[in-house]
Amino acid sequence: MRLLLAIAVLFFFFGCTLNVPASEKFAASTLAVGRFSPADEMVCQPLNDSRPCYCMVCENKTTWSSIFPEKMRKLMAFFDSTLHKGNCTFMHCNMTDFVNIISEKERYQMRSFMLGIGPSASAVDNANLFCNYSLQLSFKWLKGSVFNSPEIPSPRSAKCWLERNILPVYLYYTEGKNIDVWRTAQIAQAFNDVGPVLLSTEVWFDPNDPQAIEGIKGQIDAIKANCNSCLVVLMLNGSIQDRKLVLEKIFGRGDIKTGAGFSPYYQKVDVVGFGFLANDYPTCNPVDVIGENFLFSRFVLKKYSKPTLWAYVGVSKGNNSFGTCSWDEEAVHNFYQQLFASIQAMSSSGIIGVGFYEFSDYAGPLPCDNKIQGCEFGLLDSFGNQKHPAINTWSSLCQYFGTVQFRSPLIFSRNGYGSVCDPMQLQNNKMFTAISFELNSGKPLPNSIVPTAPKEKYLRCSDICVSDVPLNDWQIFDNTGDTFDSAHCDLYPFIEELAEEKEISALFFRAIVEQESNFNPYAVSCIDQNSPNCNPANLSIAEICRLANLSDDCGQVVGGGSSCPAGMKPCAFGIAQCIAYPGKYYVQRGIDLPLEIRNCGKSKKGIDYNPFDPQDSVCCGTSVLKYYLDISPSAGRNFVQNNWNTLTSCPQGIKDDKEWVAYFLAANTYYGYPNDFSGFLSQLNNCQGQQNYISYLRSKGYSYAARVLSRYLDAIDKCGSDCPGKAVQIASNPP
């Protein structure tokens, strides 16, 4: 194995691209040039130009002084500067320019090769704990469908990342079913003047569909026209030939030597992006998979003079999709080693960074049939447990890359040839030599628990807050004394990812989960046998468990007995207490799946939804909360927007707590409480009755949301969130 991998890593280090000193090389007798080393790579072809290189340079237009002192001190200890309201560009440069750039560190920054992870800001926050806060890219997938365009993300998270010198990347993904140019323009507008945000065109589409190609062009125009500092990422998918076909259709058949013959879109695209999952290849050899994509990046640089971004990369234990081979633990371990060992070659070949596909299994949005191939591309499993040796290998290499004295700067030849643009070769070879030493050490695969860095609230950016302002009349909303268990702050990290995907507060949803089930994945609630509101088929707990493909004695496990008490029937299940049956129930009967589970389950299609799987349950629960917060005609935000004048018209009415009211009402509806606004209006009587709508609901016994809010406010302190909590002043009209 050691010899095979030693041969594998060499194929990147050929020709004039990298000049590795003899003292740093392996013995020649143990190595051979890999199969992905075409002959023309051995020829030096420098540009006849005074500035033959590209440098990725970012300009800082704000200062640390714009951040309050405590936060500033923490950020300065970890990050170089803030990029909020700044910009990034790929400029023509030479070695003199390079030296001048790095000497202007007060204002300009020379970017180095960047690592990130997806599919959400929450994944970055959690992965950073295993990487000592050294990730420099944040990937968020903006998911849509044939019926719904992707959500417009809040710029709050992007601003937060940029303050930490981390570049945010947003990937537009609807499986090619909804390439919405207007929504793309709205997304771009949301980030205008925020800073150097990378916005992508549709990730997944048919390269032979003319309408899709026109949609991609429209997205490029929309981003350029609506965001001054955004970088356009043209995403490609499919085989190498499919990718080349799209490039030709978008860029035209130009000549890079003369610059003639390109379409207008050639100048509008800043970066070419693509991704790959190793299990989709006919081989299970890391060298072949990584090498094929490496050479494609070099093709893009040589033919189009464009940098590339590997927007998602993943490998899973299990079969490949062809059924011809399998990735075992050692192959996964080797894949990560191969990727990290190649960083120096990638940075000098125009690859600006790599995003790992997912942090938790099944959090990524791409379709994957786990009955055929491995689909678990995360570093944690779907229950939040560390996966060994994958997490050990990734974490140790990520930390080493983040702390090594010399990272690989993003300076590379504009045509992909020659070594004139490769500075600091000796120092940047440290990652390669570190891994080569490990390969020859005979160490077994690592499997120990990986410790995490301390959770620092000022270094995190994924929190979606209930409101950006403190809760004013907090005694109206919360005087229940319910607390939040600090042990639940980080349990099941996919909660943050699934909540963020729907642009709702993950910490608020955690408060709901604690109120509903205390995080017991097998919790079951029972209801009167004659109630029509849930479980209309009157299934027993044991029947529901069997539909979820659990064992026959599961009823005793989940319910503490084989059935609900006499006269009662099971109603809600799992940590989020959704009332939907397992997906198998609907499939067997040919019934349409409930909306809240249609994107859940390992299939992402709801057909294998299991309410006792925490990830599936959270998928359902966050969908329900999103519906009652934003989508339903009477949803919290819609209700508040339509009735705000009435809610605030009386002297003792609601005061300046609009978002808090919206979440309060959504939580009550999540539990099943009625709105009863008509009852409130009928007793208001020109402000002579109960004037405060929240107080009115609580007086009627509808206090579920108050208990959730009490837990949420407690969780803000216990879980290290920087979201606003209670305002200092105390309300004068408690309920």
> What integer pLDDT is reported at residue 259 of this predicted model?
78
- Give percent of the chain with pLDDT exceeding 70: 87
pLDDT digits (tens, 9 = 90+) for 366-408: 999 989 999 999 999 988 899 999 999 999 999 988 877 667 8
Q: pLDDT-based confidence at 557, cuts 50/70/90?
A: low
Domain boundaries, the chain: 2-48+112-408+426-439, 464-505+614-735
CATH 3.20.20.80 fits 2-48+112-408+426-439, yes or no: yes
> What integer pLDDT is reported at residue 19 of this predicted model?
35
> What integer pLDDT is reported at residue 730 of this predicted model?
42
* Pairing outcome for strands 108-110 and 53-59: antiparallel
Give DSSP secondary structure letters for 227-275: -SSPEEEEE--SSHHHHHHHHHHHH-S-BTTTTBS--HHHHH--EEEEE
Query: Whole-angstrom Cα distance, residue 674 to residue 670?
Result: 10
How far the first Cα of the chain sits from its last, in Å, is 71
Mean pLDDT of 90-119: 89
Give DSSP secondary structure letters for 297-332: HHHHHHHH---EEEEEEE--SEE-TTSS-EE-HHHH
**How many Cβ atoms are within 10 Å of 594's Cβ, its own excluded?**
19
Strand partners, 272: 234, 308
161 and 121 Cβ atoms separated by less than 8 Å:
yes
Write down the residue that tokens 């981003």 correspond to. Answer: 223
pLDDT digits (tens, 9 = 90+) for 324-368: 999 999 999 999 999 999 998 899 899 999 999 999 999 999 999
pLDDT digits (tens, 9 = 90+) for 233-271: 999 999 999 999 999 999 999 888 777 889 999 999 999
Instruction: Output the six-digit token pair for 237.
Output: 């998918």
- More confident site: 45 or 420: 420
- More confident site: 580 or 21: 580
pLDDT digits (tens, 9 = 90+) for 679-695: 999 999 899 999 999 99
* Residue 632 pLDDT greater than 70, yes or no: yes
- Give the three-state DSSP class for 142: strand
pLDDT digits (tens, 9 = 90+) for 434-443: 776 666 666 7
The candidate with the shortest Cα–Cα distance to 238, out of 203, 284, 272, 200, is 203
Mean residue pLDDT of the chain comes to: 87
pTM assigned to the model = 0.86
